[in-house]
């Protein structure tokens, strides 16, 4: 448990592609946004490879997916969506990417970062591993005065993220009850039409099913009531 009484009200979600937040943690995001937290999305790529239609150029697809992501974000109550423009499918956890993310952390000063669990066994998508690892390594770097010191300009200082929540994890130890917003979560996901199609009720049901199962897991682990629908995370609380 953190010792601070400061409210942890700024949240940054770092994903590899548009729709990663909606597939991974949108229920929790909606709930937190409703509770007054300020949410920023950072997407490393604009998902420019995610189509089976060769007639759709990467930039055209990226345009569609940025629009879809902005629509989903608005639906959810996200304040800002930042696209870094890296090429989809080719992400690597380089010092360069880490520096970019570190700079964003120092400027936006999120108390909480949500990202993909890069340690998940058989996380087959190379972008998902790279994005999660780079985000966590950037959190580490952001705290130090002399890592990427050229970023500490004016009132920009080292920034200590207080909590990290990893989604798509095999080691959840924190659960959020999203019963209140399961349908809003699904609606947000449905904004990504290029990826999920129109009126994808089958996907909606799959999300409900999975959230129900996670809810069970939460009730069992936490020995609490409620949690009809839940999302699970591996959580880190930093000193």
- Footprint of a copy of itself (CB under 8 A): 45-46, 48-55, 57-60, 62-63, 66, 85-90, 92, 94-96, 99, 103, 119, 121-122, 124-126, 136-137, 140-141, 144-154, 156, 158, 171, 234, 236
Instruction: Supply the minimum distance, in Å, between the C-beta of residue 98 and a copy of itself.
Output: 8
How far apart CA 169 and CA 123 sit, in angstroms, is 9
Output 109 or 179, the one with its CB closest to a copy of itself.
109
Instruction: Supply the minimum distance, in Å, between the C-beta of residue 144 and a copy of itself.
Output: 5
Q: 86 by DSSP, 3-state: which? A: strand
* CA dihedral for 69, 74, 76, 78, sign (positive or negative): positive
Instruction: Supply the minimum distance, in Å, between the C-beta of residue 149 and a copy of itself.
Output: 4
b/e map 15-49, b = 16+ CB within 10 Å: bbbbbbbbbbbbbbbbbbbeeebbbbbbbbbbbbe
Instruction: Supply the minimum distance, in Å, between the C-beta of residue 203 and a copy of itself.
Output: 13
Instruction: Supply the minimum distance, in Å, between the C-beta of residue 3 and a copy of itself.
Output: 14
Instruction: Supply the minimum distance, in Å, between the C-beta of residue 121 and a copy of itself.
Output: 5
Output 192 or 234, the one with its CB closest to a copy of itself.
234
Output 102 or 186, the one with its CB closest to a copy of itself.
102
Tokens of 232: 């699970």
Judge whether 85 and 46 are in contact, CB under 8 Å: yes
Judge whether 129 and 118 are in contact, CB under 8 Å: yes
Output 148 or 227, the one with its CB closest to a copy of itself.
148
Output 140 or 197, the one with its CB closest to a copy of itself.
140
Output 34 or 107, the one with its CB closest to a copy of itself.
107
How far apart CA 48 and CA 57 sit, in angstroms, is 8
How far apart CA 116 and CA 134 sit, in angstroms, is 10
């Amino acid at each position: 448990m953190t010792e601070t009484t400061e409210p942890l009200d700024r949240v940054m979600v770092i994903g590899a592609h548009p729709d990663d937040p909606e597939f991974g943690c949108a229920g929790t995001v909606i709930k937190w946004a409703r509770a007054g937290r300020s949410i920023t999305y950072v997407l490393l790529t604009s998902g420019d490879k995610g189509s089976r239609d060769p007639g759709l150029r990467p930039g055209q697809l990226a345009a569609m997916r940025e629009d879809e992501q902005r629509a989903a974000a608005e639906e959810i109550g996200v304040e800002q969506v930042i696209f870094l423009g890296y090429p989809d499918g080719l992400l690597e956890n380089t010092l360069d990417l880490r520096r970019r993310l570190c700079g964003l952390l120092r400027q936006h000063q999120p108390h909480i970062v949500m990202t993909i669990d890069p340690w998940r066994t058989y996380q087959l998508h190379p972008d998902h591993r790279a994005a999660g690892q780079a985000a966590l390594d950037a959190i580490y770097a952001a705290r130090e005065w002399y890592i990427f010191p050229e970023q500490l300009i004016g009132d920009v200082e080292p920034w200590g993220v207080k909590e990290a929540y990893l989604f798509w994890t095999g080691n959840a130890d924190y659960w959020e009850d999203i019963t209140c917003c399961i349908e809003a979560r699904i609606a947000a996901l449905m904004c990504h039409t290029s990826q999920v199609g129109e009126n994808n009720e089958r996907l909606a049901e799959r999300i409900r099913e999975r959230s129900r199962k996670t809810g069970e897991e939460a009730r069992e682990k936490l020995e609490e009531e409620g949690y009809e629908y839940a999302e699970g995370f591996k959580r880190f609380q930093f000193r």
